[in-house]
Amino acid sequence: MSAAFRLKAFIVSGLSLLLVTGCAGSSLQQSLEADPQLQDRPVFSEDSPESTPTSETADAAEEPDPIASTPSTNGTGEIGSTPRGGTTARLEEVPDDLRPYVQDWLALGIVDDQNGGNAAANAEFEPNQPITRGEFAHWLLAANNEFYADVPAKRIRSATGSASPTFQDVPASHPYFAAIQGLAEAGIIPSAKTGNATAVTFRPDAPLTRETLVLWKAPLDSRTTLPTATTEAVTTAWGFQDTAKIEPLALRAVLADHQTGDFANIRRAFGYTTLFQPQKGVTQAEAAAALWRFGNQTEGISAEDLRRQPASQSSSSESGNSTNSL
């Protein structure tokens, strides 16, 4: 082999080696580059100053959950410490305008205390899901009796299993029978007992509508005979564009609700609106907001009032100051 040929082979071999090394270097460099998806995520070591929590993050970590740390009451007026199960994580799903009402409502643990071992009545609170007629009847009676725990004249008696069912689809074995039957016998829920001969079924699993919520709740706020109402009177009072769609039986309750002023259930649960949408379903958060307070424009008691009361104070307090909380 000639010297020229060996020199040429050496040069070619050297160039190949350089190319291989360059490619390897390029691959190695790329393998050490940061993953672009992780560039905004700081990585701290045990020795780095960033690994020590700042005062701001430490305070956030130590801040107690508002629901979990708030005392709750039960039917005896005693203060408990356990809110409704599974509700803390769902509080962030509640619309901002309804959150203060829902937070107070859940902290009381009213429905849980009344449920006992009733599995059907212990369904998890889902703020943005529709509430059924049966469930709202259960909530309504439980809340009324908790708010007026020391006022026998304002409490509603739950029905016993021996009572003759008012509605064909709510037998004594139904999980909400005690509440539905009790409200019917008290004349709060329209039935044959109140002269509504066609109201032979209750439809406990049907969604609660806005007009029905007001129809059942308003009598427990006013504690008086509902006013006579016409479509024109309700339109003048509320300014609803769809007043004509409200059932005649509910018109009186809607007008009575307006007479409670800023404490109206419609204002609290549905906000300002010129469309009542009487047949629209009610969410669990809206139902809780409606049940946040019982009373008329001058006297009433709210869930916030109950939360602030010490264990020794009567849950039936209805001072003028209690009506100013919204």
pLDDT digits (tens, 9 = 90+) for 171-223: 999 999 999 999 999 999 999 999 998 899 999 999 999 999 999 999 999 99
Q: What is the pLDDT of residues 42-64, one digit of tens each?
A: 333 334 334 444 444 444 444 44
Split at pLDDT 50, 70, 90, the class of 36 is very low
pTM recorded for the entire structure: 0.69
Crossing angle of the two packed helices 177-185 and 133-147, in degrees rounded to 10 = 70
Burial 56-94 (b: 16+ CB within 10 A, else e): eeeeeeeeeeebeebbbbbeebebbeebbeebeebbeeb
**Mean pLDDT (whole number) for 132-146:** 97
Mean pLDDT over 284-309 rounds to: 95
Please tell me the chain's helix, strand, coil percentages from 3-state DSSP, rounded to the nearest 5: 50, 5, 45
pLDDT for 113 equals 54
Q: Any idea which residue has 């190695």 for tokens?
A: 28
Looking at residues 315-323, what average pLDDT do you find? 43
pLDDT band at 168 (very low <50, low <70, confident <90, very high): very high
CA pair distance 127, 182, nearest whole angstrom: 26
Q: In terms of C-beta density within 10 A (0-12 exposed, 13-18 middle, 19 or more buried), how is residue 32 classed?
A: exposed
What is the token pair recorded at 39? 């560039």
CB-count exposure of residue 218 (10 Å: 0-12, 13-18, 19+): buried
pLDDT of residue 310: 74
The pLDDT of residue 111: 72
Q: Return the domain boundaries, the chain.
A: 209-280
